[in-house]
Structure 1
Amino acid sequence: LAQRKFLLEGLICLRNALVTLGAPLLAIKAVDEQKAVDIALKLSEQACEVVTDAAYLRQDRTFEENLNEKLIVKRRRLTRVEGNVCVPVTVLCAKPAFNATTIRKVAWHLLEKLRLEKWDDTPNIHCETGSALLGGEDAAQKVLQEFIASRLNSYDQGRPLCDTLQCMNIDMELSKAADACKTSSALLGGEDAALKVLQEFIASRLNSYDQGRNVPIGENQSFLSAYIHFGMLNPVDIVTEVQRSSVRKAAKDAFLEELVIRRELAHNFVYYYKDTYDTFDCLPDWAKKTMDEHRHDKRKHIYTYRELEEGRTHDPYWNAAQFELVYTHRNRPVFGKLRYMCAEGIQRKFRKHIDEYVRKNYERAGRELMPSNLLSKEKKDEVGEALGPKAKRARKSAPRRGLKT
């Protein structure tokens, strides 16, 4: 519900921006992938070209591929626009990349070249008809105002777009989501809110990012992940603003490493492991062998899926991470790391900070948790079966080298 509320806030911001260009935002629900393809084909009946975001996850790529096949038959063109990463994955690397070293130099070289392109132009006027263009800018502006006043604002009021399609009322959907969502998150969706968060981060927290980002009680994170994830903020814009700032070079480098290189690695992984990126089949053989060997190790604590999800374990650090993620919808990097290790293995230099954070935030939060699908049930069940107390030691002694395919 929190994600839906955030997304709908972003759609309203986008709709308001498109109004100034004389372009309607049509939000239409699709019950499945085939229905989504049919909707796209229906809307583009009179178009010569369809433009879509570059897809990376399996379901999105399948939709894109199916749509492209149908458009080819109809002799229309499909254009993919990259908005997820700074450098398109296939441009950066033609095969899986197994560590940052293999892509870092190439990524920055390509990014500097891409940033020289003039890619963020916005049309100055809207021209609905050829006669308006011939009449000059004043005539075009008049057409724009008439268009907005007479038709544009009615597109998203739940009225049928045609015989088979009906637009979603975004304002009504947002109201429903806001009523049903119980969250203490102060993050608002939309490009305008994203830019404010970015400027606040650069002005007050970026300078200490390299030194304080992994201190869980601190506030040195950017909190931009949600905006990037939902396409409300382009990573290239973030790079540009950060490089323009006057903060310390070490802080800039640390942040841009995460924003550019680490995100490129993640997208590279899901792109080249399309069919297996969310299963154990994508793991290297030595990791599968280790987990299989320790499948039947005895464990001090065994938890159900619901207990892990709701933070009801013996480990206060795990519980604190779950509480913060569910209630504030912000995941601090250090807590992300804690989910992959035992509490006994936490580095001592972080213990003091984490203890302080738990006392201030977790111990006073004696509340029921809302159900939240943080991980798929299948994934959690597999992890619970496969990992044992000896698995961590085996992983540490495993060879640290690139994987071969």
Structure 2
Amino acid sequence: MTEFSTFVSHLECGLTHESDYEPGVVHGLSRAGRPLLVRYDLDRIRDSVSRDEVWSRGGGFWKWRELLPVTKTENVIALGEDDTPLISCTTLAHDLGVSGEIIIKDEGRLPTGSFKARGLALAVSMAKEFGIKRLAMPTNGNAGAAMAAYATRAGMESYIFCPDDTPDANVREIALQGGKVWRVNGLINDCGKIVGEGKEAMGWFDLSTLKEPYRIEGKKTMGLELAAQLGWDVPDVIFYPTGGGTGLIGMWKAFHEMEALGWIGSKRPRMVAVQATGCAPIVKAYEDGERHATLWQGAHTFASGIRVPVAVGDFLILDAVRESGGFAIAVDDDKIENARREIGAREGVLVCPEGAATYAAYKEALKDGRVGAGDRVVLFNCGNGLKYEMPEMAGRLNRNEPINYEDLKK
């Protein structure tokens, strides 16, 4: 991989905007206990590279190296990353009678089969840069799988704790990729408590969502990549499955950085945070006019990736939603499952439950007028649908009896 210059200037607290956090040293949360954001010398980047030069490179999200914090190429941990496709859903648009384009961005094509590869690749690479040897995190599945894969590739230990009902494919994937994994009789915040309380005894670094500054930087590449794929434009609306919300926060950051670089204009997509009705702390905070969410009690949804009862970056999610003119919306599990089946049957695209939630939310917002029939919308499918349990739907035939082929048409 070609050696690139790096342009990190400092880090700042996302809540207080204190900006005296030096790059090049290990950071967790800010002094206010909130996420730290990486800032860049954008003037220097603008003078050193063009958007088309960056976009012409290979290497998936690593092509954006000037806008990433890794300082030495030897610390880049790569597993064959590539850009994820935009799939135009013309059949769904026809079914709904809309003139605007419905686009699925299929993040399930990344290494480890989910968009978590973006954030964890950056976080693990920075851990390598800092000489960290042991990592830990709570997970609902995909993040743990990504951390295990990249940590193993980097020669690090990984300790991963997941709720009891985490999809079995995720748990087995973590173990097969070198992670040490445990099921816990609780939710992801309970798993996070185990990680936090074990720091001193285990000497691990906590890679929980937004408790270090670099997962956001990996996730923001979704916004960089999307704009480039759309000819340096942005869609009207982005529907994003929101648990910890790192990707939504990261994309919002990316759009601001690109405008400052002169790569895009001032237009912004309306950012929509999609949750399940069984776990919707961001939706409740949005509807109540609050900047911070409260812990969601009794969280439940089969879309496990968005079953996050509390998010340390809640205010950053809500800020992006409100500043963009977007909204937060919750859909129930039945509508999520129906959306998964509809996308598969009508477009031939197998999405994960969290990705299906974005289509269910789009349909609800279309009905109540929060999005228009002419809007170009992007729905983020965050994981490969093959990693999730699927219903048994096949018929059966007895080869020893005559087959009525007309019946097969029914």
Output the TM-score relative to the length of structure 1.
0.29
Larger RCO, structure (CA 8 Å, separation 6 or more): 1
The structure where strand makes up a greater share of residues is 2
Structure showing greater Rg: 1
Output the TM-score relative to the length of structure 2.
0.29
